Structures are given as C-alpha cells and as structure tokens.
Structure 1
Amino acid sequence: MLRGVLERRYDHEAKFLNLSELAQDEELKSQHIFDLKSTASKFFPAMMRVLELSFDKPEERDAAVTSVSLANNDLVDLAAVTTLSQTLPKLQNLDLSNNKFEKLEHLHNWRRRFVNLQHLILTGNPLEQNDSNYHKDVRTDEEIAKKARTTDLPFPIRSPLFKDEGGIAEQFVRIYFAGFDNDRVALASHYYDEQSEFSYAVNTQAPRDPNSTQRSEPGEWETYLKSSRNLKKIQQLPARQARKYRGTQAVADAIAMLPLTRHPDLASEARKWMVEAKMVPGVPDPTGASPGGVDGFLITVHGEFEELNLSGQPSKKRSFDRSFVLGPGGVAGVRIVSDMLTLRSYGGTQAFEPENFDAWTEPSTILPVAEPAVPGLPAGLSIAEAEQTVAQLMQQTGMTLSYAKDCLDQVGWNYLGAVEAFGKVRGSLPAEAFVLPTA
C-alpha cells in the first residue's frame, strides 16, 4: 500500500515526490491510517523505510528525488516527518507551505540538515505573522560546498569495531536519538515491542571533564536515582527486577519520565560522538521459528547531551554510554531487544577523539586498523571464533546470549567444560536464562 502511494505521487521527469494533503488521500482514508494516533505516528517513518528499500544505493535515491512537497498536512512541528532528513539528506527543494508552523523553532529539528537545499517554501504558515525573527537566509554555492565539506564526515567517528550491514546501524542511530529528543512516545512504538527490555543506571563516581576550568557542580541526580539499576548498589532481587522495564508501554513510560534532552547534531558535531557496531548471532527470535536465535546488531554509543528544563532551556550537560541489541522485526524492520543506558557527569570527549580529526574528512586516507584484543577472551581466540562458540552453546543449551557468554567466561572458553557446567546448574537457572522455555 505504501509503495503504491509513493508511485502515484512521484513525478519521474521532475524528480518530484508530492506528499501534500496526505490526510485527503482516498486510499489512505480507506485504510483509516489517520484515524488513530498510533497508526498515524508510524505512517511516515514506515513510508520512508519503503522508499529507502526501493533503491539499491543511497546515491540512486538522492538522484531520483530532488524535490518534496509536504504542503497542506496540518503540521505544527516536524515530529511526524523528521525521518525525511535521514532518507533524503541531499534534497534540493522542499515545500512546507500551508501548514501550522507558528515559530521557526518548530523547524529546528532540521537545522544543519539538507545541506544541498536551494529552495524552501514556508508561505501560508502562521510564523509569517507570529515570528518577528522570520527571515530568509540565502547561501551561495561556495557556502554550500564549504558546508558539505565540513559536515559530510564519516558517520560519527567510528572505531575499528564499526561493522554495519546495509546501513542498518547508521540509520538506527540517526533516527533513534532524534526521536529520543523530540517524541519518545512515537519512538517507543517504533522500535520497542513486548519483549524489549530497557534499564538505566547512574554512575556517580565517573571522572569529570579533565579539561574543565570551572568549578564542579553538584550532580543533581535525584530525578534519576529512584529508578536507577546500578547493580553495584542495588543488591536485592525484587529491586533489580522492578528497575528493568519490559514491553512497549513500560519502556515508553520509563523513558518519558526521564528529563528532556538535546543531543549534539550527528552531522555537524561528529566529534562529540563515538559509535561502535558489530553483528552478533543468537539474538532471540520472537516468532520462535529459530530456537537458536537470529543475527542482530550490538551497537554501543558514547556521547553527551544537554538536559533541558521544563521551558526547554539547557540546564546541565551530562555524558552517557548506551548499548543496544537489535534484532529483525517491528514496524521499522528493526526491533530493540535490549537497551541499557548509563548516565554520568560530563566527562568530555577526549577519550574517543582521534589524534588527527582532519583525516576523517578524507576517507581514502584511512588505513585499516587491526582489531584490538578483547578483554576476557583467551589469547589466540578471535572475536569471530568466540561468536561461533557462543552461538553453538546457545543452540545446544537453549540459553540466551548473555548466559551462554557468562558460562564460557567461567570455564575459560572451553566448550566441553561449558556444556558440562551447564548440565550441573541447569535446574537452578531462572526462566530468563533461556531463549524459549525448556521442557
């Protein structure tokens, strides 16, 4: 159905995608897409995903669609359509006329996006009368080229462990953090399902920014501590279980309770991010078709954010580490299996800045970097061999990824020893140790 909408509204000769007046589209009305907020919020991201899958390469997509109209859609902000900037970052012409944007701030989600944009139409919006700062900035071709050179960096500073597949990891990170800053309810329904788990922990002992010349301020962690799952401090099992949220609604409620945030722009402030990603086997399959699990992603993000007060103004800067385990499924084609967030006082970015940042602007100069040794693995055991061993143990025992890895850790990664150890403790393992209930 979504593919049909795109085909009907696409002008091949003009390279123009007309997404105006979507609520009046007869086919969408017959499908009752906009009758419920839950389906309406998923519609545009899903359509953008279908558009992405219609092309083999991003370059082909950028060449095919250079102009888009979102006119007459009653948009008050960009929350519902924010994924347009990830799907069509090289857009040249954008029509946002006759919507309900009251202030320029309502367009800030797309600041520093669309670096090739030549025409932006905003006529017919209340901001023409309401916003005294309303004006038009015109960039020269030279300024556009300079902007592209300074922002079109490799997706945020990657470590040697950034291994993507079809742009899945990159796309997820770009969409997830934009959604976390702007619409957490829609984000929860987009990526989490009833098997998804989320927890966060506050690390109050983490080092602060070593380059800071200002006096350290109090951490002010009171808002977070009541649900913090710091396992070094929370020893009782009921308290630990109560601080782990499972299911779409539980996760939505949990992340909604956290203070508002604003993360650095992924395009123009790449120095403030580090993203690691790799494929992992044995991710639980919610359909039950693959008892040994399926392939997924482990994505670890290190960075910072500004905590916002109720009026939307920055009140405190913090650092964070976040680990996601992704698997196939969900409305986006990707579901979050596990999401663990660690919060700490602002510690700067020195720990993950490259020595020569300018080298990242020239991808051809980057030399391959040897994969470092992984703490906990015996000498001579590669990551690929370790992953294969974990997958084999999961298949034989039915244990989850984390329990299988812990079992191997305890016996020095001796496979037969792990099988023997599992046989001794199998009866005492909790139900959560297994991908599927065992007989």
Structure 2
Amino acid sequence: MSYRGGRGGRGGLYYHGNNNNSNHSNFQQQGFNADQYILENSVPIDISGWDGASMEDCIGFIQRKCKVAVRNALVDMSTHYIRGYVKNQQDVNTLLSWSGVKFAGKSLKFMKINNSCGNSINNSNNNGNSTGNVIEALTQFLKSRYQPEMKLLNLSSVKHDPSLSQLGFFASLASTSKFFTALMKVAGDINLDVQSIDLSANELSDLASLSIMAHTFPKLKNLSLQNNNLNRIKSFETFKHKLNFLRELILVGNPVVNVNNPQDIENVKLELMKTFPRLIVLNGETLRYEQALINNLTFPFELQQPIFFQDQDIQQVATNFITNYINLWDSNRQGLMVLYQAESQFSMQIDSAHPHTLEVINDLRNGPSGTDFGYYLPLSRNLTKVSSIKSRLNRVGRGPEQIYKMFTQLPKTRHELVNKPLLYSMECLRLPQLNAIMVTLHGSFEEVAAPDNLEALNSSIGGPKGRMSHHNRNKKVALSSKSFDRTLVVIPGPNGSMIVATDLLLVRPFSKILAWNDPTNKTSVPSTAVPNVSTPPSHSATPQPQQPQVPSGTPSAADLPIEIKNNLTPIQQEVLVKILLETKLNLEYGVMLCEQSQWDYNQCIINFRNSVASLPPQAYIS
C-alpha cells in the first residue's frame, strides 16, 4: 500500500508500510548560537516517584511548585527515572531541598548525579572542533538530507548518521535531547524551503525537543513520525495552534495508534484533528473531505472595509480630529494637552504575545530579531500581567499633568498616515449615552528617538524599587517599528471644542500583515501620494446611493468611472464623492473643484461657496 499525500503539486510523503527510510521560548533572538544552546542547562538531575502521572505533568508541577525549569527531560528506560537538565548548581540544590514533595499521590525524589558523561559536543570542541565546525557539520547534514525537488527534509534514523555520531551528538541523554533543537535552528538559518519532513525511526517518546520545528517550518504540510515510541496523544499538544497547515501525518509503528479498541482509534483521530485544523490524511486514511474543510476555513464574507463611519455626520469630525491628533503626537505632544481635562484618563499596554500569524513569524525571522519593549514595560497596564490593584491604579494617567508625564515617557514616533494610508484602519462609532464618539485607529509607527523623560521612566512603577532604573540605565533599548491600536472616546466641549475622555493605547510587535488589505487586489491603489491632504486616509465608508441626501445620478466611490478611478487615489475618490454629494456638482466640475483645491475637502467647500454665483447651470447634476 502506498500513497502520495501531496497530490496536485502539493508535495507530500511517500509511505510504504515497512520502509523506515521513506523519502519523505523564542529562537529568533539575535545572536543565537547553536552550540551555545546545546551547552545550556547542562547540569543533570534524576527524578523518581513521578509515575503517578505523565512526565509532562511532573515537569510542569516542578516548575510551578519549585520555581525551577527542568529542560530536555527524558525517561531512562533502565532506571525509569526522569533525567532532566537545569541551568546551574543552584537549581540542583533547590530541587534537592524539595525532595519528598507530594505529586500525584507519590513523593518525588530528586537525585544529584555525576555529570561524568559531560557534554560530548563540548569535549569535541576541546579537541579542536570549534563552534563553527559544529554548525557547519549540521549545515552539511541538512543539505545532504534535503531533496529540493520534493521540498522534503529526510531526518529518519539520524542516530545512525556517521558524521553526527563522530561529533558526539548522541553520546549522552543531554546531547541527544538537544540535537533536534540545534538542528532546527540551523535549518531556519539556511532558509530551506520545506513542505515535508520525515522523522521516522528516531526513538522519539515525546515531541518536546521538536517544538522549535513549528517556528522553523510553520507552513509544514506533511510529517512522518513512523516507527517511534510515541504512546500518548497528549504529546502532540506541543504543536497545538502551531502547525496549522499540516495536511498529512504518518504515525504507523507508534504505540499511540497500535490499539485494538475502535473507540480509542476514533479518539486519537479526533484529538489529532483538533490539534491540526487542516489535517486530511492520517496513516493513509482520509479523515475528512478536503474541499469542505477548505470552505469551512475560508472567511465567508467579503473583505472588511478599512474605514468605517457609523454615519456621515461624524465622518468629517473624526477624520479631521484623528489626523490632527496623530500629527501633534508625532511633533508636539504638549499641544495635545488642550484636549485633556481633569477627568480625562490615559493608559497603555503592550501585547508581546500576539496571535501566531505565520507570516509575521517569517517577517520577524528575516528582519530585526525580537522586539524590545523596554521603554513601554514600566507603564504597561496589561491586566493579564499586572495583577496588583495598586499597580493597576498607578498605571492610569488622570488629568493633563499625569497624562503628559506619561506621554514624555514614551518613545518619539513617526506615523505615515498621509503618505502610506493603506497602513491604517479606522472605525468611528457614536456613544449616544455620553453624546460622544469613539474613534479606534489601527496601524503601525516607527520609533525615531528615545523618550524625553528618561529619568521619570527609570524611576517609574513596576517591580522592586530601583530594578527598572538599573535595567534602563545599563541597557540601550533598540528603536524599531511597532504596530498599535488606539481608542479615543471624544466628547464635545465648550465653544465647539473637543475633549478626550479616555485614551487607550495598545502597542504590539510590528506586523506587515494587515487584516484590512486584500492581497489579491494589486491594482486598486495607485502609488502616488496625496499632497496637502488634511483628512486622514480613507478609501471606504462611501455614502450609499439609497440614502435620501444622495442626488439621483450621483456616483458612489465604487461607481466612479474607471478612467476617473485610475487617476485618483482612494482618498481622492472619497473627497470627490463627498464634494459631489455636498455641492450637487456633476463629475466634470467636481473633479475641477477638487483639483483646484488640492483635494482638501475644507478648501473645496470654501472655493465652492466663493464661486457658486458664477457657476453655469450645466455645472450641476441635471
């Protein structure tokens, strides 16, 4: 029996029942060194009395209870102890002091062992193999196992590879457990285009050491784990919410699927389909109809509009307000204080654990590694991280004085609101109970300079006294681009002024992937920028023709003639439609008015009023 999982040009694995050689933490931090990582956490510890539950449960319990991370844990089949590795001798002593702690009805015992086995890779380095030699060996091994025509990485039976054995990768449990971590890091560095991976016959009893594979190859489609020692379906939780494009999985020869009870087999299938949302084929069996699955995973609605206004009345107010606000935020934050009153509130938070958008992960790998939130951490009011009531209260700025102090503790920025309008999205809604409007702006900004008020930032809230200050004085925080969501509730003030009642700023890692952009539409946005535009970018929120105030025959932005649309940006189209609606001019005169007014809506209205008496009848819609 054989099959090819990737039909129709998808790539795939070949599975033959008895063929073991079938052709089948964040490691993006800058300066990651494969050999250094292998040498980390090299102090061994043995754990007994754990078998009242699973090994994973035991390791998690130890981390929660004893506050010590046990890495690269494996079960020694000869002693039935868990052999794990901790960072240093202090962690060993801490665990020894916890011997006897109750876990799953038994008493855990921690045993210090002689690290006589050493680290084989370290020993090999002392014999003349440098770090570069180790990385080069892994690179050559990967290239020898890579089949570019099939986009297949064959990692079956790696323990029997002579070049790896000579380097001592499998001489001890420590080096064995860290091998795949280092290998996947190197694979990511050399940018292999991989859709299928064969990991058969590698004596794998759990998948913890392969967790980095989901980051290195997030769009992996086919995976073979044939003839390993996987006996628990829970092992696959390592890949939950990660390998979201996995289509085909081979588990033949693993205890987890070698069961006789049909109900157990169905439970395994169900759990795997939950873990891998696009899984179609398991051990050659089709689990679900692929086209129906694709339809279910396809967003059933049209692409959402990047700009939304609840009604026409607040459109002009919101666009002018947000444009001027962002301009002052970038150039003169003191000038914003006229918008804040004694009851106004401001808070910000960072979200460093944003959803794992796969394209974003690739962008981070290929661009600057990691995102430094050092300037934001002292002020962040992320309620999932800040549990102290006092800290939560202290991280809300109230009144102009406190709010401005917080503004000066945030980096200086530059937004491309006019030059690059497609980087932004905005929604504007009414809040009738408050006679207010709520404006939410999404997009990105570039940090251009450190905060003005570093002294206040260094002594700011958060952590033991002095800890944050020491951190910021001794570490230069890297400036970078970041994405954000900002929500402002604005209420009317005296004499037509506006007051910001609440201001919420969320800062997150930069993402080039915009939810409001249509990746298939490559011609709708001209590349030319709009000069002297006072309204913010808007290429939606078009007035609907059926509304009473729209004259018959007046086009919406979608109905503008193609020759007009091809020569105008979305912003210009929006301004044109508004002018046509307000003035009742026909297209020819409407375009003329906009061009003479530099596509500034306010200037258009002024020029129209100044010249309305001299306009001929044919200038209007008949």
TM-score, normalization by structure 1: 0.41
- Larger Rg belongs to: 2
TM-score, normalization by structure 2: 0.30
Which of 1 and 2 has higher RCO (CA within 8 Å, sep 6+)?
1
